[in-house]
Chains A and B, each alone.
Chain A
Amino acid sequence: MAETVLKATRESFGEALCELAETNRDIVVFDADLAAATKTGVFQKAFPERFFDCGIAEGNMIGVAAGMAAAGKIPVAASFAMFATGRAFEQIRNSVAYPELNVKIAGSHAGISTGEDGATHQCIEDIAIMRAIPNMMVLNPADHWEMKAATKAALEYNGPVYIRLGRLAIPSFNDPDTYEFELGKGITLHEGDDVAVIATGLVVNEALKAVKELEAEGIHARLINIHTIKPIDREIIIKAAQETGRIITVEEHNVIGGLADAVSEVVTAECPVKITRIGVQDCFGFSGPAWELLDKFKLTQPHIAAVIREVVGK
């Protein structure tokens, strides 16, 4: 296994954009005055002629990106998740998703791990908002290697994609030598039949540490990483429901409308089992250092382990 990389997924995203743009001349990047934060700034430096700062005007940015896509380009439009999916929701819905234009929307600083900026900047609704739009693919990669692979796949895919980026530097857990990314395919990170933990994004690593910790206690929890929230991997979820009989979802997002609901939609239709939802419990965040907030919101290893113990009844 290669060395662990400690990196925010926004940085991995910026790196991937630059690598992909070397060979694909159609990639153009837009930002709304947050290039330094979303890490599209590294693309700006490498390809200034293909980077456009739209200023603090997210609605127009999405519309311009749509026009560019209609003219054959592959535009990537980045901002904070809050403003990209919140402020510009309707531009994404009507100017990108309805005409199925090839625009990639990158929402950075997603979730409460945005930290000190507080509730106005901690987007906990972006997955719900984007998932509800027809034609929209929704990606939420969990570490450096997955983000690089997901960015590549998103740019190779012809159609609208929302990709969620985090601000916080997190350790990688995937092995780049063996890692394989496929759009719409969940990944089983840990085997077990006592319970299925289905996680997405930044908290996958916390869940991974939790299930490993519980092995010593004789609890065999399966862990599935869902990097593609839409279209979701129905097969892996149904199999997990059938073989374990109970599911715990883990996400750094409101428990309404995100991964928990996406999993629930599959399970209730195919194999009803009880689902316990770990996530932001339908409340706003507040200021604080990212890890302290993640702990406060019970999204870290010990809290996840405690919920697993409770669900398994040990």
Chain B
Amino acid sequence: MDSSEMKQLRILAAKARKGAILGTYHAKSGHPGGSLSAADIFTYLYFKEMNVDPQNPAWEDRDRFVLSKGHCCPSLYAVLALKGFFDWDELTVLRHVGAMLQGHPDMKGTPGIDMSTGSLGQGVSAACGMALAAKLDKKDYRVYTVLGDGEVEEGQVWEAAMFASHHNLDNLVVFVDQNGLQIDGPVEVVGGIEPLDKKFEAFGFEVFKIDGHDFAQIEDALNKARNVKGKPTAILAKTVKGKGVSFMENQVGWHGVAPNKEQYEKATAELDAEIKRLEGAC
């Protein structure tokens, strides 16, 4: 990836973060913290990695994405809007009565959403089913899913992990957005999930540990994952909850609270400044 491509991704990610702030502000609810931590992963997947067609969201040979940590959909919605799946203004009615964009992803109502998720631990199983379907049909589409680090406390994640390696799903990539915080506090205090790399290795995964905000590292891990044969890949991405908005970073309180008007304006101004800085830097 050259520097101009990298810059474009950073600009898109900053716009996606703006979208997440815009959506949760208008919804007066939602989950900005985890939306911001996963925004770079979503951006890379949709603008660099995945083979999708916004004009034909149900194209049967497309790569699939399942947001297993469904509550972080505001930034995913923003990425889908930037990609052209639907209008950006939908974000201004996120979670409103009659709106297309639901509080958690709804595959029936939202173009680009490949699986309805929201109940933690379930998306990763659906991703396994899609990956298995590709194998059965001898198709070469790939399936990506993003889990939260708190989410891996769910037993179903490990049922799915066993299944994925048992069925040699090398077309499946499981990201864990390791922002280190869950609702009740730090993940290591509440759930104690480490050593996560050794756990996924023991469950038969190829494991890469990366900085989830570094596009070069995301690219490197995904490229390596394409060459992994016979087993699924887990990419453990260290991230910052609330990334990109100074007063939200690493604050557990921003898990599920929407910004008020003043906070919305401050966050938007910060992200606008970042976009301007990036656009100015040639």
Enumerate chain A interface residues (CB-CB to B < 8 A): 28, 49-50, 52, 54-55, 57, 59-60, 62-73, 75, 90-91, 94-95, 98-100
Contact = CB atoms under 8 A, between A and B. Distances in A.
B160 A63 contact: yes
Contacts of B156: 57, 59-60, 63, 91
A72 B60 contact: yes
B141 to A, nearest CB: 9
B136 A63 contact: no
Dominant secondary structure of chain B at its interface with chain A:
helix
Interface in B74-121: 106-108, 114-116, 118-119, 121
Given A60-B125, A95-B119, 4 more contacts: A55-B166, A67-B125, A67-B129, A71-B60
A94 B122 contact: yes
Nearest to B139: A71
B167 interface: yes
Interface of A is mostly: helix
Nearest to A91: B122
A62 B119 CA distance: 14
B162 A57 contact: yes
Contacts of A100: 108
17 contacts: A52-B132, A55-B159, A57-B162, A60-B128, A60-B160, A60-B162, A63-B122, A64-B129, A64-B132, A67-B115, A67-B125, A67-B126, A68-B130, A70-B107, A71-B64, A91-B122, A95-B126
B130 A71 contact: yes
A55 B162 contact: yes
Given A52-B167, A72-B60, A98-B116, A67 B162 contact: no
Contacts of A60: 125, 128, 156, 159-160, 162-163
Interface residues of B, number: 35
A99 B128 contact: no
B67 interface: no
- List the 8 shortest-distance A-B pairs measured between CB atoms, nearest first: A67-B129, A63-B125, A71-B133, A60-B159, A67-B126, A57-B159, A64-B129, A99-B116
Contacts of B167: 52
**Which one of B66, B125, B126, B134 has the greatest number of beta carbons of chain A within 10 Å?**
B126
Nearest to A64: B129
B225 interface: no
A66 B155 CA distance: 18
A144 B117 CA distance: 38
A17 to B, nearest CB: 17
